[in-house]
Amino acid sequence: MLIVGERINTSRKIKGDPAIERAVIARDEKAIRRLAQFQSQAGCDYIDLNAGTLGADEPQALEWLTRMVQEAVPAPLCFDTPDPQALGRALRAYDSARGQPFINSISAETARYASMLPFALAHRSKVIALAMDDSGIQSDPEKRFCVAARLIEDLAREGVLLDDIYVDPLIFPIGSSDDAVLAVLEVLSRLRSAFPGVHTIAGLSNVSHGMPARRLLNTAMTVLCLGRGLDAGILDPTDRGLMAAIAAAEALLGQDAFCCRFLGLYRKGAFDGL
């Protein structure tokens, strides 16, 4: 599973405190580098950067975050913004020698598609494709799948490689609807069957928003999605229990030949105390 670290996001709160937003506003280099290093050491493949709460300061902030995180860790970056100006500044600051950038995100919404596509093509980036269009997010899984299918076909026709497309079926909080998770699982299964060359990704912690015992729900959601073919997750890589559950699920699903990765992590003490 490809892991995109979610912790550098100005909308995140730590025990109710908007600590990330405050650090970015203050341009606190030490705090941001520490967050990047913790995630890199925990095993993430990409680090997501989001300064979306900052309004007019978002373009400058996202560029600054790009420079700070690149100084701290070698991991490639995922740029989480709907703002073309912010994305453009971040991509200009990005060192492509560290790997393909990830654009988070494009959708089938007319304006968003038109503004994000040129960046994806110019930078040959990976893209997160949200299963939503101008009518919003469809609650019916069949309709949501159809939106995703149309978006995949449009991106491929424009020249985006199937291997660079990561479809996000969009996870709603479980408190909002009893069948919110069932819809996501159905869309994942349909995408895996219909588009074997395309990847899937999800912001897994969305499922527990507003609920107690969030880590438990996040872990269960991750394992359920892996079973339906999820390839990548935007999550907290410093959550040892979650990362251990991912390793165990991959071993059980035949995605870890001879359980080599699972056994290696065990020998390193990754599961101690869990």
Give me the number of domains the chain comprises.
1
Instruction: Flag whether 274 is in a domain.
Output: no
Kindly state whether residue 163 falls inside one of the protein's structural domains: yes
Which residues are within 8 A (CB) of 32 and not within 5 positions of it... i.e. 6 or more apart? 8, 23, 24, 65, 68, 69, 72
For residue 63, being part of any structural domain is answered with yes
Residue 15 has pLDDT above 90, yes or no: no
pLDDT of residue 6: 98
Q: What is the pLDDT of residues 145-171, one digit of tens each?
A: 999 999 999 999 999 999 999 999 999
Give me the pLDDT at residue 262, please. 98
DSSP reduced 3-state for 206: helix
pLDDT band at 41 (very low <50, low <70, confident <90, very high): very high
- Cα separation, 229 vs 253, in Å, equals 10
Task: Confirm whether 85 is domain-assigned.
Answer: yes
Would you say residue 272 lies in a domain? no
* Percent with pLDDT over 90 in the chain: 99
Range of the domain at 13: 2-267
Q: How far is 132 from 50, CA to CA, in rounded Å?
A: 20
Residues 13-24, mean pLDDT to the nearest whole number: 94
Residue 211 lies in a domain: yes
Tokens, residue 100: 């393909």
Asked, for residue 273, whether it belongs to a domain, the answer is no
Q: What CATH code is carried by the domain that includes residue 70?
A: 3.20.20.20
Q: pLDDT-derived band of residue 20, with 50, 70 and 90 as boundaries?
A: very high
Note whether residue 209 is domain-resident. yes
Task: Give me the pLDDT at residue 67, please.
Answer: 98
